[in-house]
Amino acid sequence: MNTPSAPGAAPLPIDLLICPEWIIPIEPARITLSRHAVAVNDGRIVALLPCDEALLRFRPRKTMNLPGQVLLPGLVNLHTHAAMSLLRGYADDLPLMRWLSERIWPAESRYSGLEFVQAGTLLACAEMVRGGITTFNDMYFFPDAAAAAARQIGMRAVLGIVVIEFPTSYAADADDYLTKGLAVRDALGDDPLLSFCLAPHAPYTVSDRTFSNIATLAAQLEIPVHVHLHETDHEIDESLKQHGVRPIERLRRLGLLGPQLIAVHAVHLEPGEIDLLSHEACHLAHCSTSNLKLGSGIPPMSVIQSHGINFGLGTDGAASNNRLDLFQEMRHAALLAKGANRNAEVLDAHTTLAAATLGGARALGLDGRIGSLLPGKAADLCAVRLDEWLIQPCFDPASHLVYVAGREQVTHTWVAGKLVMSNGVPQQFDVSELRDITGLWHTRLTS
């Protein structure tokens, strides 16, 4: 990696210099910089420094001046089912178990395959980069097809090695899911934009034997475990009937709790369970909009925050949200926490921005590479316009990002220094083709 040249030395050549109105680096925490620049070379951040100084120290091949815009790390979608974008609006206004058993699982049984997953993930990736998301953590079948779509768009993806006990078009049983997922990991493990996690679906779809195998694999491979956990009262009631304990205690006994665990939803938590998750350094994926839409409930985020539990934000799939929009998730997460606790100071703007960036990166074990604008990290960035008349005046850019701006204000998205979305248009794919793709699947799903 290049380093800034000393004062008085010849300017150092770099690939890109970005000069926005403001920068929110996330690290150091809770600061907003004015008239600063980010220098990028070979896909990494070289320096963050005042604009005047940057123009003296560097000779960029390209300079982007972004007046009225704020630059921040690319957003990290900590939980989604990307391919399910093709099921957006297909099964609305149903509680989780009816939503799954009556609509989603039958549709997946009939249609889910390589073509479905690649098409749905391509749609999802285009939507996500349009909204400033640079990394997503996926849980779905055919991860090789999802990888192909992420590569086409140019996104960073964490691909779940999904595990479930019953057969699908993808695999016959839990062992088959693991075998196939690990084979994809072996084949694609050298791609710098791809990484993997183990993704057992949920306590009600995975056996003790399989969970124990996953705990062993997670320790051997040193990769995260990504699982739906304590999402609904029904899930907990069924666990008590079948196993005699609540799901978190069951996973503790099976060796799953620890720094590798990402507990998705975690809506229904007792005080002792929060203590346990904190003690074991587990991570949470907070999916506020999906929890609301499925009627699952509101997690105790103020208590989670006060216990120092790391959490990120996830959209869940577009079939249960119905948007892959982390600006919406930030706003909902902050407002729900404040309202539920009758405390306006809970989940303030900077805390929420950190959850949408560094919190997700930390849960995935990627915080050494992404999630903040420290020199040496990958140049995963997004720029957001805050000078449109509709959202004036702007007193605090951090507050504006959480409570005022939306994904429609995102102008540019970079992944590893490469511009993947410019002025609202993904750069690696003709979005007009998405209409043809979605039209084809709409016809199939309604025929």
Angle of helix 208-221 versus helix 174-188 axis, rounded to 10: 20
Q: E strand or H helix at 411, and its extent?
A: strand 410-415
**Cβ atoms of residues 320 and 293 within 8 Å:** yes
The domains spanning 12-73+379-416 and 75-363 adopt the same CATH topology = no
What Cα–Cα distance (Å) separates residue 346 from each residue in 70, 170, 230, 339?
A: 24, 43, 22, 9
Angle at 196 between CA 186 and CA 255, to 5 degrees: 105
Chain segment 206-234, per-residue pLDDT in tens: 999 999 999 999 999 999 999 999 999 99
pLDDT at 9: 79
**Cβ atoms of residues 115 and 55 within 8 Å:** no
Chain segment 337-361, per-residue pLDDT in tens: 999 999 999 999 999 999 999 999 9
pLDDT above 80 for 7: no
Chain segment 238-272, per-residue pLDDT in tens: 999 999 999 999 999 999 999 999 999 999 999 99
Task: Give domain limits for the chain.
Answer: 12-73+379-416, 75-363
pLDDT above 60 for 128: yes
Cα 218 to the center of its chain, rounded Å: 20
Q: Please measure the distance between the N-terminal and C-terminal CA atoms of the chain and give it in whole angstroms.
A: 55
From start to end of 308-400, where are the E strands?
A: 310-313, 381-385
pLDDT at 1: 37
Mean pLDDT of 102-114: 90
pLDDT at 428: 85
Q: The pTM is what?
A: 0.96
Whole-angstrom distance, CA of residue 280 vs CA of residue 256: 10
pLDDT at 2: 43
- Domain 75-363 indexed as CATH 3.20.20.140: yes
**Phi and psi at residue 411, in whole multiples of 5°?**
-105, -35
CATH topology of domain 12-73+379-416: Urease, subunit C; domain 1 (2.30.40)
**Token match 């892959």: residue?**
324
Beta bridge partners of 80: 138
**Cβ atoms of residues 114 and 151 within 8 Å:** no
**Cβ atoms of residues 138 and 156 within 8 Å:** no
Chain segment 30-85, per-residue pLDDT in tens: 999 999 999 999 999 999 999 999 999 999 999 999 999 999 999 999 999 999 99
Residue 391 in 3-state DSSP?
helix
pLDDT at 179: 98
- Torsion-angle region of 401 (φ positive above 0: left; ψ -120 to 50: alpha; else: beta): alpha
Whole-angstrom distance, CA of residue 304 vs CA of residue 259: 15
Whole-angstrom distance, CA of residue 425 vs CA of residue 130: 7
Using alpha carbons, select from 66, 47, 69 the residue that is nearest to residue 58: 47
* 288 token code pair: 């506020």
Mean pLDDT of 322-347: 97
CB atoms within 10 A of CB 214: 25
Whole-angstrom distance, CA of residue 372 vs CA of residue 276: 28
pLDDT at 221: 97
Residue 183 in 3-state DSSP?
helix
